[in-house]
Amino acid sequence: MKIGFIGLGIMGRPMALNLLKGGHEVTVWARRAESMAPLLEAGAQGGANAAAVAAACDVVFSMVADAADVEQVALGAGGVAEGAKAGLIYVDMSTIAPAAVQSIAARMAERGVTMLDAPVSGGEVGAINAGLTIMVGGDEAAFEIARPLFACMGKAATLIGASGAGQVAKACNQILTGVGVMAVAEAFNFARKSGVDAGKVREALLGGFAYSRILENHGQRMLDRNFKPGFKAWMHQKDMNIVMQEAHRLGLMLPSSAATAQLFNAMVGSGMGEDDSIAALKLLENLSGD
Amino acid sequence: MKIGFIGLGIMGRPMALNLLKGGHEVTVWARRAESMAPLLEAGAQGGANAAAVAAACDVVFSMVADAADVEQVALGAGGVAEGAKAGLIYVDMSTIAPAAVQSIAARMAERGVTMLDAPVSGGEVGAINAGLTIMVGGDEAAFEIARPLFACMGKAATLIGASGAGQVAKACNQILTGVGVMAVAEAFNFARKSGVDAGKVREALLGGFAYSRILENHGQRMLDRNFKPGFKAWMHQKDMNIVMQEAHRLGLMLPSSAATAQLFNAMVGSGMGEDDSIAALKLLENLSGD
């Protein structure tokens, strides 16, 4: 089985490398030649464009920035659909809106391409260590074919449901982690402003129902004042924007998600976009006069 | 060492029983005679009022509804201060505002009484099973004297800091659990409204950074449509009101806590006050046309 990989940035590069390490023949393409170089050195083939990658492969992955990029890679001039052999499986692993996936998947199906949405969580570290959580939407038979390839990149791949369901699960993940970060930041700032050691509060609360991985790991990083990404605030802002756009489309009230989206807006607006999302604590501190 | 216990409701009764089971001599008082009966049957002494309990004891606990009750029990006519021997340790385990504790503790100190604030988390089940998490503020020597008594009632007691610090930790706990419940309810309603199985989303997310005890336990109860308390929505509403009053007093912005407090207001307003706080999911479903 020949594998294609399109988009070789912070996430895509280590993911494609892990497919190579898994013993697969991988053909890559990225807009910038310098993004392709490390993959070619590691033994990947290079394609002239996405269409050429698709023509050479049975399963093609993409990992790009947003829905416009996915649309371009999938359906644009020189895109996957243009070069696809009959029966191609196209797996987009970017984080975009569920509605965007469904629209692109429907048009790919007309060209004989089966599309899966397979966004990930775990960040750059998870991409490097093959520790990603992969949430998949689309056809079950295609998922079974892709499953051993997912296993090269992540510790768990779950078929959530039909096309778009992977993106819905990812949106839920971003709600829980985004709101979770804000809740911990609010609690820690509340403690500090009350003259109480936030570290002792965290320790006491880890044993009870307030336990979360965010409180344990991100909470410790907040106490260490370690705001290096990790997962950048502007990326979480982008993902919460997808959540709020979907909420608008579906007529859904998401109040704690909305408050969190606004805080990410304020982080980016006040120059913290390149910090880790846990720098939300600094924002709240600044606003309480410290 | 003779122990007093004042306030024998849903929480206080099993906590006092666990002190008896721990082999301690316990003298109790409650406003209603029928609340005292089960303790007297189990071997406790009965006091005529809080002052009489204080006169007979070295350490007196109270577990009542709100700050007005604590003030009455501590400093009112027939209250703890009135009967207290020199050196009495008074431990209030109710959930009230940190500022209220500090004010009451200062006045108790003038009467020679050392007051600890020691609110708990873990609910009725934790009270019965001696599985409470106990967050303590106040004097360290008094904490060391009370520690073996806390061990009869809870699995962990932590001295967080000075007077009021236990209440600050409890407020942080209520922020994290309250906002946590709302985030899970929002994510599950988002999934359902998107046509995706919330149970599969939960399962996929438990392995990653979105993991929380709320997602695991309360999330499963939401999927089971089991809205029996547990911890009632009106109680969480009351606690979030303490949080928001403290935020106002301290000049603190707590946006996700504020959104959550509003949702608890809406739950109580729409007749869900006696449901578990996880019935937030039903509220969100009702508001999305289902």
Among A96, A170, A190, pick the best mutation site for testing chain B contact (most B Cβ within 10 A). A190
Cβ atoms of residues B218 and B188 within 8 Å: no
Q: Do A255 and B182 touch (CB under 8 A)?
A: yes
Region A108-119 average pLDDT: 98
pLDDT in tens, A1-35: 999 999 999 999 999 999 999 999 999 999 999 99
pLDDT in tens, A236-281: 999 999 999 999 999 999 999 999 999 999 999 999 999 999 999 9
Average pLDDT, chain A: 97
Residue A289 has pLDDT above 90, yes or no: no
Residue B143, both tokens: 């904490």
CATH no. of B168-288 = 1.10.1040.10
What top-level class would CATH report for the domain A2-161?
alpha beta
Region A119-139 average pLDDT: 96
Rounded to whole angstroms, the Cα distance separating A30 from A94 reads: 14
Q: Do B184 and A177 touch (CB under 8 A)?
A: no
Region B139-145 average pLDDT: 98
Provide the shortest C-alpha distance from residue B251 to chain A (in Å): 6
Q: Where do the CATH 3.40.50.720 domains begin and end in chain A?
A: 2-161
- Chain B residues in contact with A287 by the CB 8 A cut-off are 253
Q: Do B196 and A288 touch (CB under 8 A)?
A: no
ipTM of the complex: 0.96
Provide the shortest C-alpha distance from residue B279 to chain A (in Å): 15
pLDDT (0 to 100) of residue B230? 85
Region B126-134 average pLDDT: 97
In this structure, the strands spanning B114-117 and A120-121 are unpaired
Average pLDDT, chain B: 97
Region A223-242 average pLDDT: 96
> How many residues are listed for chain B in this entry?
290
Rounded to whole angstroms, the Cα distance separating A48 from A44 reads: 13
Provide the shortest C-alpha distance from residue B46 to chain A (in Å): 33
> Catalytic: B2?
no
With cut-offs at 50, 70 and 90, classify the pLDDT of residue B163. very high
Nearest partner of A114 among A135, A93, A96, A91, judged by Cα: A91
Q: Which member of A21, A170, A200, A282 is catalytic?
A: A170
Q: Which member of B21, B85, B170, B282 is catalytic?
A: B170
With cut-offs at 50, 70 and 90, classify the pLDDT of residue B153. very high
Q: Do A190 and B155 touch (CB under 8 A)?
A: no
DSSP A84: P
Neighbour count for residue A289 (Cβ, 10 Å): 9
Q: Where do the CATH 1.10.1040.10 domains begin and end in chain A?
A: 168-288
Q: Do A204 and B171 touch (CB under 8 A)?
A: no
pLDDT (0 to 100) of residue A290? 72
Q: Which of A183, A207, A247 sits opposite B175 (nearest CB)?
A: A183
